Amino acid sequence: MLSVSGRGRDRVNPWTYVLLVVLLIPFLFPLAWMFLSSLKTQVQNTAYPPVWVFAPTLGNYREVFQKNPFFTFTLNSLVVAMGSTGLALLLGLPGAYAIARFKRTGIALAILTARMAPGIGYLIPWFILFTKAKMIDTYTALILTHLIVALPLVLWVMIGFFEDVPGDLIEASRIDGCSHFAAFLRIALPLAKPGIVATGILAFIFSWNNFLFSLIIAGYKTRTLPIAVYSFLSYEEINWGGLTAAATVITLPVLLLALFVQKHIVRGLTLGAMKG
C-alpha cells in the first residue's frame, strides 16, 4: 500500500493486467469498431448480430477516394491547419516569451477569457462580416477563424515552455550585448524548440478536428474533412463502410501525431494549467 507514487518495488500482481485489459477495452472499442467497420462489406455491416470475424476488404477506401474529391478535402484541411498554426506561432511566440520572461500574467488572463467564450459567439459576428466582405468559402476566412482557437493555445502553452528556459542564459546573453530581440531569437527559441514543435502539433490537431467554424465558413471550394464526412452522413446514412472508411482516414493522422506529443497533450488540453 506504500506504492503511493506507483514507483515502488512491489511485485506486480498478475490480476492487475486482467483488470487493466477489462478497463481499457471500452476506451479502445469505438475506434477499433470504426476501423473494423471500414474493412467490412455493406452486407457484413448491416448484419445482426454483428459480425466479428470476416475477410477484410479495402473496397470502402477505394470508393471514398474515387467517388468524392477526397484529396481536395484533405488538401483544404492541410492548408487551413498549417496556415492557422503557422500564423498562431508567428504572432504568439514573441507574446508568450514576453509574458513568461517579464511575468505579465494580466495579459495572459485576458487571453484565457477568450478561450472560455463559446465558439458561436465568435462565429456569428465573423459570419456576418465575411458574408458582407464576400469572403465566405475562402482559405483566408477559415484560417482567421481557426486562429481564434490556435492563438490562445499557442500563447498559454508556450508561456509554460518559455518559463522552463533558464533565465540565467538569457541574462548572460544580454550581458554579452544581445538585444531583447536577439536573446529571444538566438537563445529562447532554440531552447524552447521541443515545446514549439509540441504546441504546433497541438494547434494543428485542433484545427484539423474543427467542426463548428468550418461548418459555416467553408463552402464547396474549401470544404475541410470533418465537414465532408458530415455531409456524407446526411444522404448516405446507412453506408457504414464508406462512412467509417472516411472517418478512419481523418482520424488516423491525428492519432499518429498525438503519439508524438503525448507528454504535452494534457498541457495543451488544459491550456497549460496542468502538466499531466
8-state DSSP, 211: -
Measured from the CB of residue 53, what is the shortest distance to another protein in angstroms? 14
Measured from the CB of residue 87, what is the shortest distance to another protein in angstroms? 8
The nearer residue to another protein, 17 or 194, going by C-beta atoms, is 17
Alpha carbons within 13 A on the beta-carbon side of 75: 6
* Beta carbons of 158 and 195 less than 8 angstroms apart: yes
Measured from the CB of residue 215, what is the shortest distance to another protein in angstroms? 8
8-state DSSP, 51: P
Alpha-carbon span 276 to 266, nearest angstrom: 5
Lookup result for grid cell 533565465: 167
Measured from the CB of residue 252, what is the shortest distance to another protein in angstroms? 10
Q: Within the chain, where are the H helices?
A: 14-38, 42-45, 59-67, 70-101, 105-116, 119-132, 139-164, 167-175, 180-182, 189-191, 193-209, 212-217, 225-235, 240-260, 262-269
The nearer residue to another protein, 16 or 220, going by C-beta atoms, is 16
Torsion from C-alpha of 226, 231, 233, 237, nearest 10 degrees: -160
Alpha-carbon span 138 to 146, nearest angstrom: 13
Measured from the CB of residue 166, what is the shortest distance to another protein in angstroms? 18
Measured from the CB of residue 55, what is the shortest distance to another protein in angstroms? 19
The nearer residue to another protein, 48 or 71, going by C-beta atoms, is 48
The nearer residue to another protein, 30 or 71, going by C-beta atoms, is 30
Alpha-carbon span 81 to 228, nearest angstrom: 16
Lookup: cell for 178: 544581445
Measured from the CB of residue 205, what is the shortest distance to another protein in angstroms? 6
Residue 129: strand, helix, or coil: helix
The nearer residue to another protein, 4 or 55, going by C-beta atoms, is 4
Measured CA distances, 137 to 142, 232, 250 (Å): 8, 19, 21
